[in-house]
């Protein structure tokens, strides 16, 4: 079976149909997906702004990471589960959609970006923790994160117009 | 009078261009959503701190000062994009129950924020239970605005 064939099959499984045909289940899942944005992406944005030296400047960066980013660990699982459910109900339509494909690529980039930050810049955070902004490499990570997350939101919102 | 003005705005070249172009409204809706993400994140941070369940390393006053320019900037984005979305099809929105509900709850949320929550920010008084209630009401009101906004697409 091709990937497209699989997506179309997925969209028509009884499980997927029970969501897309329910008058309240689909809006509930979609609404949760959108309203979990502040708790997931919003928290990361605050940390990005701290690294860039644009907010929370007069405190240690590691404290922002500990206090703020930890709430995104509640937000992102909600995003992931609701996102997968939304995909399952519209997999056939999503497959060929340029905005959906772009969104997936951007999410992959964000994953790589986060791993790079964890491996390269996180271990040395103590050295610049109190600096008003992070060293240039970490700032590049933060700037990328900010821009690409905006791209993800734009793709997600635009995608919904095309189904 | 007001309706005539709304109609005039709604038929202006800029709004017509956005309404008729393929990616006009999705772009404006995207700006709306990016703004909501930042604005509600700032509100959540304050509510979590006020309730004492998160961000406890900082004082409420310090947090508010740090977040203020970003929250106000985001609020401005949300407001401007919201006005453009409304002007895109004013008749549809004025006839929509969720939209009218959204505007009502939005007014309540703004009044509650500046009338009640801000007092706790500047003085940090009150019993723990009271602060939890105020934080809970704040978060509920703001997220209810969001849910009502979502409902516009699904409920007449």
Are B23 and A158 within 8 A, CB to CB? yes
* Conformation bin of residue B55: beta by default, left when phi > 0, alpha when psi is -120 to 50: left
Option in A42, A56, A153 nearest B40 (CB): A42
Q: What residue ranges of chain A have pLDDT lower than 50?
A: none
In angstroms, rounded to a whole number, what is the distance separating the alpha carbons of residues A47 and A53?
A: 10
Structure token digits, residue B57: 């390393």
ipTM over 0.90 threshold: yes
Q: How many of the other CB atoms lie within 10 Å of CB of A42?
A: 27
Judging contacts by C-beta atoms under 8 Å, the chain B residues touching residue A27 are: 150-151, 153-154
Q: Where are the domains of chain B?
A: 25-151
Q: Which long-range contacts (CB under 8 A, 24 or more apart) does B115-118 make?
A: B117/B46, B117/B50
Search chain A and give the residue with CA nearest B142.
A35
pLDDT of residue A46: 96
Closest approach of B49 to chain A, Cα-based (Å): 10
Report whether A28 contacts B20 (CB < 8 A): no
Report whether B81 contacts B32 (CB < 8 A): yes
Express each pLDDT in A44-66 by its tens digit: 999 999 999 999 988 899 999 99
pLDDT of residue B2: 82
pLDDT of residue A26: 93
- Among the residues of chain A, which ranges form H helices? 3-11, 14-20, 25-35, 43-51, 61-64, 70-95, 98-116, 125-128, 136-161
Judging contacts by C-beta atoms under 8 Å, the chain B residues touching residue A161 are: 25-26, 29
Option in A56, A63, A158 nearest B30 (CB): A158
Contact A76/B at CB under 8 A: no
Q: How many CB pairs below 8 A link A and B?
A: 87
Name the pTM for this structure.
Answer: 0.94
Contact A36/B at CB under 8 A: no
User: Which residue's entry shows tokens 């600096």?
Assistant: A131
In angstroms, rounded to a whole number, what is the distance separating the alpha carbons of residues B97 and B151?
A: 9
Express each pLDDT in B98-128 by its tens digit: 999 999 999 999 999 999 998 888 776 678 8
Search chain B and give the residue with CA nearest A58.
B66
List Cα–Cα distances, A30 to A80, B9, B29, in angstroms: 12, 31, 15
Closest approach of B18 to chain A, Cα-based (Å): 14
Structure token digits, residue B47: 């509510």
Closest approach of A6 to chain B, Cα-based (Å): 29
From the first residue on, what is the mean pLDDT of each consecutive set of 10 residues in chain B (156 residues)? 84 85 93 98 96 90 93 97 94 94 97 92 79 96 96 89
Report whether A153 contacts A160 (CB < 8 A): no
Report whether A8 contacts B124 (CB < 8 A): no
């Amino acid at each position: 079976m091709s990937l497209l064939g699989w997506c179309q099959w997925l969209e028509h499984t009884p499980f997927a149909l029970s969501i897309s045909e329910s008058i309240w289940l689909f809006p509930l899942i979609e609404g949760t997906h959108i309203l979990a944005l502040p708790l997931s992406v919003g928290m990361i944005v605050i940390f990005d702004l701290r690294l860039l030296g644009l907010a929370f400047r007069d405190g240690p960066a590691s404290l922002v990471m500990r206090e703020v980013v930890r709430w995104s660990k509640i937000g992102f699982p909600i995003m992931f589960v609701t996102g997968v459910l939304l995909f399952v109900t519209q997999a056939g339509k999503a497959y060929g959609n340029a905005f959906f494909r772009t969104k997936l690529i951007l999410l992959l980039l964000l994953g790589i970006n986060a791993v790079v930050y964890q491996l390269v810049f996180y271990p040395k955070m103590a050295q610049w923790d109190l600096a008003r902004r992070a060293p240039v490499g970490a700032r590049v990570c933060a700037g990328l994160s900010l821009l690409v997350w905006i791209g993800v939101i734009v793709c997600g919102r635009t995608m919904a117009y095309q189904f | 009078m007001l309706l005539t003005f709304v109609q005039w705005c709604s038929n202006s070249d800029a709004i017509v261009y956005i309404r008729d172009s393929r990616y006009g409204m999705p772009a404006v809706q995207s700006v709306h959503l990016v703004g909501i993400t930042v604005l509600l994140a700032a509100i959540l941070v304050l509510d979590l701190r006020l309730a004492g369940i998160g961000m406890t390393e900082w004082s409420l006053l310090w947090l508010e000062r740090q977040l203020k320019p970003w929250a106000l900037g985001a609020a401005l984005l949300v407001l401007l994009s919201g006005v453009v979305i409304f002007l895109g099809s004013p008749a549809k929105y004025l006839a929509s129950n969720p939209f009218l509900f959204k505007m009502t709850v939005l007014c309540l949320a703004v009044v509650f924020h500046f009338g009640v929550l801000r007092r706790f920010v500047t003085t940090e008084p009150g019993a723990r239970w009271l602060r939890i209630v105020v934080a809970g009401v704040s978060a509920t009101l703001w997220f209810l605005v969001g849910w009502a906004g979502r409902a516009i697409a699904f409920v007449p």
